[in-house]
A and B are shown apart, each in its own frame.
Chain A
């Protein structure tokens, strides 16, 4: 397993696409806060800027799986993962007696680590650049805010671990980079759209609707409970933690089951 992990990390880092991910991440981190600044300057409403946005909100937007970077990284990572199938190099691992379970787990762990690391690096860079132009938030930054920030980052990581499990599953299920990407983008869009519909429906509904609230809270792709307040309720934490853990476990289990039975050409 350790050997497989070493190899998977090595091939991800050696791939040109990884370099492209880093460049895109850096560019988005720089451009996003600048765009806000330029946009509000252009409409001559800089005094509104502080009320509308903050470094904190830009930071958490950078984490959204439906955001530019949040969508690009899993797609590029899928391409890297699927290269093992398109080049046929997955055969080298099976032929020399590596178990399919460890091959899948190595694929999942390495993609989860790289995905979390790149998304976190991008979000932190976005935060640092945003702090040049904006305050972190309207009020003062307290120790409680720091704890909330750290906890939120941990929760965001759970979301991306879930996404890594999903792309690992799609990669072994499809064995084809194009199909895996199309499936991932489709799933991402569908859940983001569902999230928006649920949110609008909740706003329209005159009374609190438990089903809509539940659908809103379990939608991992909108991560609507993370980073939107200043503290977490126990009920929110349960949703935030359990949903990605259950999702990750499900896709890891499905991925292993599918991969164990899959014929490799």
Chain B
């Protein structure tokens, strides 16, 4: 299992307040890691820490297996691209000039790279456009920021609230871009957002942060399994129910309980209930649950928030 990023009890204290409190995060190669948390929960703080913008009060992290205290961490950072909060661009320069500047910092002297990056983010028209970035829309700046982050051929791209301020079409474009880059260039992503439904469309793994603590990490598959559509049936004879259910529901979709059973997935409940009644079992209650990422977030972070 190749880890791109691992943090070990990472903390950041500002005066008397812990912005990040012993955070442990694990991102594997190829992940699209959705980083979810309320405003001020510590999402940007952890991003600033791993990008070297701020230093940790305690704890450590490994980037591409290299510890943060090692001098080689600078080499590891060369494989990282990031947009922290807002894209860092010279407002008084054109898109091309900004990309040229970033190329110069990285040490690239190839205009084709600039063209390629602009093409990837759908801004190729700006290649020879002298319009200053200060006059760009937020969506264009966001995409230009991604283009700049792509210049160094990063293996790990960190996007802090990339959907912020984007119109619906812009959100779709960014989402498709993320999926394309993950698939075609095998770029691992860390995306922080509080637009959970958007994140659910791209993320392969989630990290839930609340009050500076990462309260849960879960893969999208685990989440789907744990929070898929379910029906809770309470009966007077659970043993008899357990004998009937396999005739109508796949075994893996049944979770037997002391007072009944939980059935996952889509099952024709009319047929099932008819069979249960026919076998003489009394149904005491039926509870349908159609949970999603938001319910999951509230169940995990909500508890932490009310601690």
Contacts and interface: CB of A to CB of B under 8 A. Distances in A.
Interface of A: 3-4, 6-7, 10-11, 14-16, 83, 87-99, 261, 263-265
B110 to A, nearest CB: 14
A98 B78 CA distance: 8
B52 interface: yes
A95 B52 contact: yes
Contact of B101 (A11, A95, A261, A264): A11
A215 B62 CA distance: 52
B55 A263 contact: yes
A-side interface mostly: helix
B88 A92 contact: yes
Given A95-B77, A263-B55, 12 more contacts: A3-B106, A7-B104, A10-B101, A83-B90, A87-B90, A87-B91, A89-B90, A93-B105, A94-B52, A96-B77, A99-B74, A264-B53
Interface stretch (B79-87, B230-238, B272-280): B79-87
B84 A96 contact: no
B84 A91 contact: yes
A87 B89 contact: yes
Interface of B: 48, 51-55, 73-78, 80-82, 84, 86, 88-93, 97, 100-102, 104-107, 148, 152
Given A87-B90, A88-B88, A96-B77, A14 B97 contact: yes
A184 to B, nearest CB: 22
A97 to B, nearest CB: 3
A19 to B, nearest CB: 12
B32 to A, nearest CB: 19
A235 to B, nearest CB: 45
Contacts of A91: 51, 53, 82, 84, 88
21 contacts: A3-B105, A3-B106, A3-B107, A10-B101, A14-B97, A83-B90, A87-B90, A88-B84, A90-B88, A91-B82, A91-B88, A92-B105, A92-B148, A95-B53, A96-B106, A97-B52, A97-B75, A97-B76, A261-B55, A263-B55, A264-B53
A176 B77 CA distance: 27
Contacts of A261: 55
Contacts of A16: 92
A10 B97 CA distance: 10
